[in-house]
């Protein structure tokens, strides 16, 4: 822990990352469901892939990035 970030900040940071990751995962699942029902699923499949990639990349962020 650096002196610049308090314990409350780090707890909030972790909670925000978890919330963002969960949101992206939910959006990816939703896009895949819509793709199965769509006549043109490729765009929705790409959208799902973008959200999945974003969810994976969220964990690479650190408080020093702010």
Identify the residue whose tokens are 């002196």.
3
Distance CA 35, CA 28 (A): 10
Q: Where are the domains of the chain?
A: 19-60
- DSSP-derived secondary structure letter, 5: S
pLDDT along the chain (66 residues), means of 10: 77 95 97 94 96 95 86
What pLDDT was estimated at residue 33?
96
Burial of 32 (0-12, 13-18, 19+ CB in 10 A): middle
What pLDDT was estimated at residue 65?
82
């Amino acid at each position: 822990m650096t002196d610049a970030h308090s314990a409350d900040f780090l707890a909030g940071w972790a909670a925000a990352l978890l919330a963002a990751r969960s949101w992206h995962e939910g959006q990816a699942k939703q896009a895949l469901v819509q793709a199965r029902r769509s006549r043109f699923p490729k765009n929705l499949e790409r959208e799902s892939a973008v959200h999945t990639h974003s969810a994976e990349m969220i964990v690479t962020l650190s408080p020093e990035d702010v």
